[in-house]
Structure 1
Amino acid sequence: MELLKKHSKLSSSFFHVYVEVIILLSCFNFRCLNLLGLADPVVSGNATDKQALLDFKAKITGDQLKVMESWNSSIHFCQWHGVTCGRKNQRVTKLELQSLKLSGSLSPHIGNMSFLRVLNLMNNSFYNQIPQSIGGLRRLETLYLTNNSISGEIPSNLSSCSKLTIVRMAGNRLTGEIPAFLGFLSNLKVLSFYNNSLIGSIPPSLGNLSSLEELALTYNALDGIIPETLGRLTNLSIFLAAANAISGEIPEFLVRFGALRYLNLSFNNFEGVIPSGGIFKNASATFVEGNSKLCGGIPELHMLRCNLKTSSSNSLRLEVAIIVGSLGATLAFTCLLILWIGKKKEKQATTTSVENSVLQLSYQSIVRATDGFSTQNLVGSGSFGSVYKGVLQASGAVIAVKVLNLLNRGASRSFLAECEALKNIRHRNLVKVLTAISGEDYQGNDFKALVYEFMENGSLEDWLHPLIGMNEPETVRNLNFFQRVSVAMDVAHALEYLHHHCEEPIIHCDLKPSNILLDEEMVGHISDFGLAKILSTDRLNYSANKSGSLGLRGTIGYAPPEYGMGSGLSTKGDVYSYGILLLEMFTGKRPTDERFREGLSLRNFVKAALPERIVEVTDPILVEERVARGTPGVKNSRNDRHLRCLNSLFEIGLTCSAESPNERIDMSDVVIKLCSIRDKFHPTRLRHEVPT
C-alpha cells in the first residue's frame, strides 16, 4: 500500500512537470515565432491604430457633414473616410480630414498611430493645444493644421518627428516663441506659422534647415532681427515675414538667394537702405512698404529716397560693400552659374513636382485625372469654360483643368503659342499655368484645355457668399477685415503687373470674385488671365464663317458700361471691374443683388452713404467685428480709425468704377493708395483688433 502511494505521488509530480514544460515550450514557441517574424505582426498594431482613431472620433464635438458616421464597425477602419492604410501591414499611413467642418480637440492618442506619414486637418475648427504625443509620430512627413483655432505653444517634442518635410500651422492661435529645436528637422522644406500670435525673435537655429524652400511668419508679433544664420538657406524660394515688429537692416544675403521668387518684409521696423540686387530688382516679387525707416530701392517700390547726409560710418560701410561686391562679382557669378547648372540637371531628373508631372499630358491622362470629367470634380464654370479638379495618377499631383468653350475648330498652333506665352507670365498673385492640351476628344470634337496649379481654399466667391445649408451656421466661412484688405492688395498687385509689367498689356476682361482663387495661406491669385485674347481670336475666326459675332465682354455687373456700347477692350475696363469687386468685398453685396434695380446700383448705394452712414453699407460680418472690438457706437468715420480705413477703401472702389474711363485711375495708382492705407492703419494693430 505504501509503495502504491509513492507511485501515485510520483506520477502526479511527473504530470505537473509535464504540464509546466508544455506551457513553457508553448510560450517559447510563440516568442520565437514573433522573433522570426512568423507570427501575425499586425494584430496588435491594427488594434492600436483602430483604437487611436476611435479616440480621435470621441474628441470630435461638431460634425456638420456627418463624416464620422462612416467610422463604425460595419466596415474595416482602413475604409473609414479620410483614412489610408498601407497595403502590407494594414497600418494607418494617412489621416486626411481637411475642409470637412469638423470641430473638437485633438486626441492625445493620435501619437499611437506610429506608421502615420500624412496628417491633414486643415480648414476645420479644431481647438485647444496640439498634444505632446505628436512626438511619437516618428514616420510623419507632412503636417497640415492650417486654418483652425488651435492654441497653446508649439509642442516641444515635434523635433522627434525627424522625417517631417512640410509643417503648416497658419491661421491658428498659437502663442509663445518659435522653438529653437525646429532647427533639428533637417528634411524640412516648408515651415508656415502665418497668422498666429507668436512672439520673440526668429531662432538662429532655423539656419540649419538647408532644404527649406518656404518660410512663412507673416502676421505674428515677432521682434528682433533676421539672424545672419538664415544666410545658409540658399534653397529658399518664399520668405514671408510681413506684419511683425522685426527690426534692423534688411540682410544683404537675400540678394544672393538665386531661388528666392517672393519676399514680403512689409510693415515691420526695418531701417537703412533697401538692397538693389537680386530679388529686390523685381517690384512684383518684393514687398517692403510699411517700414518708415527704410529708403532707396528701385523706383517701382515707391519708397522714399535716402538722405544724402548719412553718417560717415554708413558711407564707409556702403563703399566697402560696393568694393567687396565688385571684386566678388565674377566669383559669385561663377558659383551661381555652377549651382544653377547643377540644379537644372537635378530638376530634369526629378519627376515628382507638379510642373514636371504635367509637361506631356494627353487628353486620355486628363480624362483619368478628372475621373471622366465627373460632376463631383467640377469646381466651377463660366464664360471661358469649366474647371475640374484632377489628380495625376503617376505622381499624385493635384491640378485644376480648365476645359475651354470653343466655337472654331483647329488653330492648335496659335492656341499652343498663346498658352506658351501664358506659361512664361509669372507673378505670386497669378494662378500658375502649368501646360496646355490641344487635340480631339473620343468623339472627334476639338478639345483644348489649360492645366493650372490647384488652389486649396477655393474662390473669393465661396468666402464672400458661402452656400448655406439648412443646418449650417451662416458664419462657417468668412473673411475678417484684414484678410479682405490683404486679398484686395493681392489682386491689385496682379492687375498692375498684367497692365504695366508684361511685354504688352494683358487685359483680363472678366474680373470677378469667382476668378480670384485663394491658396493655403489665403493669398489671392487671379485666374483666367490671358484667356480673353485666346478666346476672342476663336470667336473672330468663328464669326468669319457665321453670321453675327460673339464678343467677350465680361460678366453682367462687373463689365464696364462702355463695353455695352461697343467700345474696345482696355485696361480701364479691368479697373472698373476691380472697383466693383472692391465694393463687393466690403459691403458683402453682389452688384446683381435684387435691391439694385430702377437706377440704383452697388456703386450708387455706397456713394450715397459716404462718409456719415458708412456702417449702413458695410458687410454685417465686419460690423460684428467692430462690436467685438468694443466700438459699436462710433458711427462717424472721422472718429474711428477702422471706419476711416473703410471709407478710404470705398473711395478707391468708387474712383475705379467711375462711369467714364477717363475718370478712372490706373492700377499703379491703386497699389500706391492701398499701400498708403496700410501704412496709416498698421496691420499688426488691425490684426489684433479683429477676430481670427
Structure 2
Amino acid sequence: MASVYLCLLLFAVLPASSSSLRSESGDREALLTFKEGLFDTSGSLSSWNSTDTNYCQWAGVTCSIRHPGRVVSLSLPSRGLDGSISPAVGNLTFLRALDLRSNMLSGEVPRTIGRLHRLRQLVIQNNSLHGEIPQELGNCSNLVDMNLAANQLQGRIPDVLGSVSRLQYLNLTYNNLVGGIPASIGNLSSLVFLSFYQNNLEGTVPEVLSHLVHLQFIQVARNNLSGTIPPLFFNISSLQILGFGSNKLQGSLPPDAGANLPVLKELHLGNNHLSGMIPSSLANATNIELFSLARNSFQGRVPPEIGTLCPLRVELGGNRLEAEDDEDWEFLRSFTNCTRLQLLDLNSNILGGVLPGYVANFSRKIEWLSMAGNHISGVIPPGIGKLVNLVDLQFAGNNMQGVIPDDIGRLQNLKVLLLQENRLSGQIPSSLGNFTRMLTLALSYNQLDGSIPRSLGNLERLTSLDLSSNRLSGVIPDEIFTLSSLTDFLSLSGNYLSGVLPPQVGSLKHAARLDISRNNLSGNIPEAIGNCESLVYLTLDNNFLTGGIPKSLGNLRALSILNLTRNAFSSSIPREVSKITGLQQLYLAHNNLSGSIPLMLGNLSALVELDISYNHLDGEVPSLGVFTNLTGLSLLGNDGLCGGISELRLPPCQVKPHSKQRQQLLLKILLPVAIIVICLSLLLSLFLLFKGKTKVSRKKIDSLRMFDDKYPRISYNELFQATDGFAPASLIGAGKYGSVYKGNLSLPVSRNAATVAVKVFSFHQACSSRSFMAECEVLRRVKHRNLINIITSCSSIDSKGNDFHALVFEFMPNYSLDKWLHLGADEQWHKLSLVQLFNIAVQVADALDYLHNNSQPSVIHCDLKPSNVLLDSDWTAYVADFGLSKLVGESVDQTRLNSDSSIGIRGTIGYVAPEYGEGGQVSVAGDSYSFGITLLEMFTGRAPTDDIFREGLSLHLFSEMAFPDKISEIIDPTLLQAQPFNKDARLDIALACITSAISVGISCSKQDPLERKSMKNAAAALHKTRDLVLEYFV
C-alpha cells in the first residue's frame, strides 16, 4: 500500500516540478538574451555569467520569495548601458518592476512588454528610445507608474493608455509626440501625476481631464495646445503644480480661480494668449511659491492682494498691466513684507508713473528684479544698494532720469545690469568697478557724460559691455581693452570719445563684436587688431582714423562685417583682406584710399556687399564674385577705375606703356593742354567779370566748398542730358523753391547710368539760393542711415546765362510716404503693412533724434511732413529736404543764410508748430510737433489739412478725443484689412501697438512746446512697440 501511495505522489509532483524548472530556465534565458543586446562598458553586468545558475543574485535582479526563481524586478538605473532593450524582456512574466532609467539605450520600446500583466512600474526615462509608444502597453492593467520621459518617442499618445485604470503616475515629458491629448486619459481616475511637458501636442485640453480630482501635478507646458483652460481645473483642491505655460491657450481666468487651490505651490500659465484681468482670488492660494503669468495679454492693474501671496518668484512680464499712481503701485508695497521673495519680473508692460522708492526695501534675498520696457519715470531708488544679493537688475527702456546712484556699487553679486534706453545723466560711477562678477553691463541710449571710468577694467568676467549712444568723452581707458573675458560685444559707438586705439585692443581675443563707430578717434589702427581672431563684427566708421588699413586684418578669419567708412585712411586696400574667407560685408567708402582693387576680393564667395565709393582708387575692376552683383556693389567717386563687367559701363583698361615713355608722353600731352586751359580760364574769367554775366556770389561759392570736395562736381550740360532737357516727363515733384527730376546719370566714378533724383532750385525765387546753401550746409555736416544721401552737386549757369543750382540724390523708387498714405481710388498699389509703418516711424524718429541730439551742431529740420520722407526699394525711410533747416548755435551770418524773410511760417501748413505762426523761436520742439502730426497721419490715414479739420477741430484733437478707448474708430480702416491677421489675440496686439503709436503722436503734437515728448523719448517708445510688432507679425 505504501508503495502505491508513493507512486501516486510522484505522479502528482513530477509534472509540477518539471514546469517550475522550465519557468526558471526561461527567466534565466530571457536575462541572458537581454544582456546580449547591450554594451556593458562599465562592467555593471559582470556578475551575469552564463555558467552561473544562481541568476537571482545577479546585479539588478530580484526574484520572488513566494515563487522561487521567478524574476519580479529588473533594476539597472544609471549603469551606462548602451544598446537596445531586447524583446526577451517580455518573457519575464512575473516582472513587477522594470527600471532602466538614465542609460544610453536606443531602439524602440519592445511591444512584448505588453505581455507583462503583473508589471506595476515601467521606468525607462532619460534614454534615446525612439519609435512610437506601443499600443500593447494598454494590456499592462496593473501598471501604477509609467515613466517614458526624456527619450525621442514619436507618434501619437495611444488612446488605449486610458484603459490602464490603476495608473497613478504618467510621465511622457521631453519627447516628440504629436497629435492631441486623448480624452481617454480622463478615465484614469487614480491619476496623481500627469506630464506631457515639451512635446509637439496640439488641439484643445480635454475638459474631462479636469475631472481627475486626485491630481496633484499636471504639466502640459511647451506644446502647441490651443483653446481655453477648462475652468474646473481651478477646483481640484489637491493640485500642487498647475502647468499650462508656453502654449497657444487663450481666454480669461475665472474670477474664483484661486478660491479652491489651498495647497497649490506653482502656477505656470506664462507664454500663452490669455487675456482679461488678473483675478484677485488668486491671493487665496496662500502656499504658492511660483506665480507665473508672464508673456500673455493680461491687462489692467495688478490686484494689490497679489502682494500678500509672498511667493518666491513672481513673473508678470510681457503683458499689458498698467500703473499710473501710488494706488496702482500698491501691490508692490505688499512685496516689501515678503521676506523670501527671490524674483520679481514686471518687464514689458505699460506700467507708468514714478517708481516708488520702497522698492529698495524688498527682501535682501531678492536675486532678480526687472521692470524693463515700461513707461516708468522717476529715479533709480536711493538705497538700491541694500539689495546685496541681486544677481540681475533691469530698468532698461523706461523714462527714468537722474544719475546712477553710487551705492549701486554695493551689489557685488550682480551679473546683469541693464539700464539702457532711459534718460539717465551724469557720470558713470566708478563704483561700478566693484561688480567683479558682472557678465553684462548695458548703459546705452542715455545722456551719460564725462569719461569712462578706468575701474570698469576690474570687471574680469564681463562678456558684454554697451555704453553706446551717450555723451561720453575723453580717451578710452586702456583697461577696457584688456578685458579678455569679453566674448559677446564691446560697443562704445555714438559718443564723443577721442584719442587713439591703443595696442591693448589686441587683448580682445574672444570678443565677437567691436563697435566704436561715430566717435572722434584719430591715429592709426594698431596692427594688434589682428589678434582679435574671434571678431565677427568690426565697425570703426565715422571717426578720424588715418594711416593705412592694417594688413593684420587678414588674420580675422571669422570676420563677417567690416565697416571703416568715413575716416581718412590712405594708401591701398591691403591684399590680406582677401584672406577673410567668411567676409560678407565690406565698407570702405569716403576715405582717401588709392591704388588698385585687390583682384582676390572677387574670390570671396561670401562677400555680398562691397562699398568702396568716394576714394581715389584706379586700375582694373575684377569681374568675379561681388563685382558681378550690381545691387551690392558701389564704386562711385573713383575716377581711375576701368574694366569690370560690361554692366558697370567703365572705360576699358589701357595697356600701360613703358614708364619712361609714359612720362614723356604725358608731358607732351599735358603741357600744351595745361597752357591752353589756363589761357582759356583767364579769358573766360575776364569776360564774365566785365560783362557781368556771372551772378555767383562769394556765399554761393562757399556753399560748394562746404562739401570739402567729398562729392564729384558735375556740369549743367550733363544734368540737362540726364533729364532729357528737364522734360516734363522727367518731372517727379515740385515745390516752392524748385523742382525734382528723374534722370539717368553716368558719373565719372562708375560710368554706369545710375537712376538719380535731380533737385533743381528755381532762379525765379529770390530765396531759392538761400535754400540751396542751407541744404548744402546741413548735408555737409550730417550723416545718418535714415537721412537722404547726396551723390553730387552743380552750381553753374544754364544755357540762358542764369544761375543754376542743383543737388543730385539717390533715386527713391517708392517715392514719398505721402504717396502711400493717400493712394487714389484708381491706384492698384497695396497699402503699407503694419510692420512697414512701424519701421518707417522708427526710422524717421531715429533720424530726427540724431539731428537733435547727436549731430554737431544740432539741426532743426523745420519742414518734416510725409512728402519729405522718401522710401527706397526696401521701404527704408530717408528724411529729405533741408532747405528750411536751422543749425542750432550758428552764427548771425549763417542764420541769415538759413532764414527766409519772405515766409512768416517756417514749414508747411498743417505740420508747422503753432508757435511758429505766432513768431515763436525755432526749436527742436517744432520738429517734434511735425513728427507727431506725421505719425497721427500714418495711422489714421487723415492729413491735417483734410476738410474734416475745421472750426477748432485738428488732427491732434481728433486723435486725443478717441484715445484710448475709441482708437479703433479713427485708425485707417484699410490698415487692419490689409494685414494677415487671424481671428485671435493678434488683432488685439495690433490695436494695442497702434494705440501706443498714436499715444506718441499725441504727446509730440501738444500745443505747448514744453509739454511735447522729445524725439529721443519718442524714438525709444516707438522702438519698444516696433519690437512687439516684429515679434508677432513677422
Provide the TM-score with structure 1 as the length reference.
0.49
Whose helix fraction is larger, Structure 1's or Structure 2's? 1
Which of structures 1 and 2 has the bigger CA Rg?
2
Higher relative contact order (CA 8 A, sep 6+): 1
* TM-score, normalised with respect to structure 2: 0.34
